Structure 1
Amino acid sequence: MTPTLIACSHGTSSEAGRAAISRLVTRVRVLLPDVPVEEAFVDVQQPEVGEVVDRAVDRGPVIVVPLLLSAGFHTRVDIARAVARHPGAAVAAPALGPHPLVTAVLADRVAATGLGADDAVVLAAAGSTDPAAAVDVAATARDLSAVLGRPVRVGVAAGTGERISAVVSGIRLQRSGRVVAASYVLAPGFFADVVARAGADATTDPLALDPRMAQLVAERYLDARRALHSGSAAQR
């Protein structure tokens, strides 16, 4: 039986954010036409991920793909708790980042701002108090730095770490070029607004509407499905 893909995002009160996530999920459905795809959320919106998992496992195995860019509380607690209630029937894929596709999208968005030799780049993330999230964001910053061939600083909108606006201001005291904020958020909403207000000379768009993000969701699902099937075969 084909496992259900539950695309689990944070949830937002932003209509533009909801539309962006909905379009991302629609693209995933196009890429995986034979896979049942349902939406779930960890906050703000309904249905809650545990409720969707509980309902879907009645029809067969379930794979939750976090529409989240980093590991953290929502992956380690909310999503993990939802799948833990159904051992062997439900599994969770990793968060979307770090991943080469995410880095490629970020690099293309930054390049599209007309990045100059003297310009500085800040990876502007939502932030978290979870150390795992900081590790993932730092890894993405290193990957983006390698692609762009220049240092990439990290700034966060919330949680642990230096605030985006402070990073932008600090860079301006040290150099004359522009500051480009690479928006490391998935969809429009509160965190995207914080990034936009941080004072950078250019700010890239959230990532969800790039078609490669749907490819990444499909990849996370297919990898988890292979692992799920391998585990089932090993138990026979």
Structure 2
Amino acid sequence: MTSAGPVLVLPSHGTGDPSGQRAIRALVDAVTERVDAPVLDCFVDVQQPDVPTTLTTAPGTAPLVIVPLLLSTGYHVRVDIAEAALSVAPRPTAVAPALGPDDRLVDLLALRLREAGSDDTDHVVLAAAGSSDPDAVADCATVAAALGDRLKAEVTVGFLASAEPRLDEAISAARDAHPESRVAVATYLLAPGYFARLAAVADADLVTAPLLRADEAPPAGLVDLVIDRYTQAVQTLAVPA
């Protein structure tokens, strides 16, 4: 357990999918059990409360640390969350980076592939949400390369929105390039929801579950990652003289 510290604010994307809501709630609860500080969840879209409301109504007077429950740098991290921290937060506030890239996410992707029945003869396509932010696209390419290193095979990327190539195009290209191999989609999404449903119906031979599942406890490595982001961000807060 960490020592008592700044309020931890955990903004996730938000979803109308009840299983996705349960999966994110379980992650927040698992983090709360290990952090000796108030923990608040909020959302950048779909659900309430939003980030500005949470920052302005957080209890107490301790500084705030925002750890985005988002896999890549993108508009929500760079704009929505960053602007709220700068212009709305009523006290010192630090913003941690997105959760990815990180080796623990690669570990979890590899686990989900094994669970889905993938083997070393498959060609793997990483399915990511997509973003118009080139840094987010680069983050996904970094994760795909790291997963390829882990699997000792090429891993390509397909996006579900806002970036190219789209997932269906990436799957078709994989089939053309590897006609004797199955195509396995590694779902690089945090939780069940709209994009996970799109990935699930892709024309692949198998598709993994997202990183969080509503029917199991949050993976320990993912909980550790969130806590590490919090601990590192606390160090960036100004220390009073």
Aligning the two structures, in what range does the TM-score lie when normalised by the shorter sequence? over 0.9
1:55 maps to: 57
Q: Contact 1:31–1:215 at 8 Å: present in 2 too?
A: no
2:45 maps to: 43
% of aligned pairs identical?
42
Higher mean C-alpha deviation, range 157-166 or range 83-92: 83-92
CA distance in structure 1 between the aligned counterparts of 2:136 and 2:75, rounded to whole angstroms: 8
Q: Relative to total residues, which structure has the larger helix share, 1 or 2?
A: 1
- Residue type matched to 1:64 in 2? I
CA distance in structure 2 between the aligned counterparts of 1:107 and 1:100, rounded to whole angstroms: 11
Q: Contact 2:182–2:205 at 8 Å: present in 1 too?
A: yes
Shift of 1:200: 1.3
CA distance in structure 1 between the aligned counterparts of 2:46 and 2:225, rounded to whole angstroms: 24
- Candidates 62, 71, 74, aligned match of 2:76: 74
Query: How many residues align structurally?
Result: 231
1:204 maps to: 208
2:239 maps to: 232
> Structure 1 length as normaliser, TM-score?
0.93
- Candidates 165, 168, 173, aligned match of 1:165: 168
Does structure 1 residue 97 correspond to structure 2 residue 100? yes
CA distance in structure 1 between the aligned counterparts of 2:25 and 2:91, rounded to whole angstroms: 29
2:228 maps to: 219
Shift of 1:118: 2.5
| Structure 1 residues 115-163: Cα deviation after superposition (integer angstroms, max 9, x where no partner) | 3332100110000111111011111111111111000000000001111
Per the alignment, in what secondary structure is the counterpart of residue 44 of structure 1?
Answer: coil
Residues 14-163 of structure 1 aligned to structure 2 (within 5 Å): 14-32=17-35, 34-56=36-58, 59-85=61-87, 86=89, 89-163=92-166
1:180 maps to: 184
Shift of 1:40: 0.7
**Structure 2, unaligned runs of 5 or more:** 213-217
**Structure 1, unaligned runs of 5 or more:** none
CA distance in structure 2 between the aligned counterparts of 1:127 and 1:192, rounded to whole angstroms: 12
RMSD: 1.6
- Residue type matched to 1:232 in 2? V
Shift of 1:169: 1.8
CA distance in structure 2 between the aligned counterparts of 1:181 and 1:122, rounded to whole angstroms: 5
Does structure 1 residue 189 correspond to structure 2 residue 198? no
Shift of 1:211: 2.9
CA distance in structure 1 between the aligned counterparts of 2:60 and 2:80, rounded to whole angstroms: 20
> Structure 2 length as normaliser, TM-score?
0.91
Per the alignment, in what secondary structure is the counterpart of residue 67 of structure 1?
Answer: coil
Q: Contact 1:122–1:180 at 8 Å: present in 2 too?
A: yes
- Residue type matched to 1:197 in 2? V
CA distance in structure 1 between the aligned counterparts of 2:114 and 2:153, rounded to whole angstroms: 12
Q: Contact 2:118–2:206 at 8 Å: present in 1 too?
A: no
- Residue type matched to 1:50 in 2? P
Shift of 1:113: 3.1
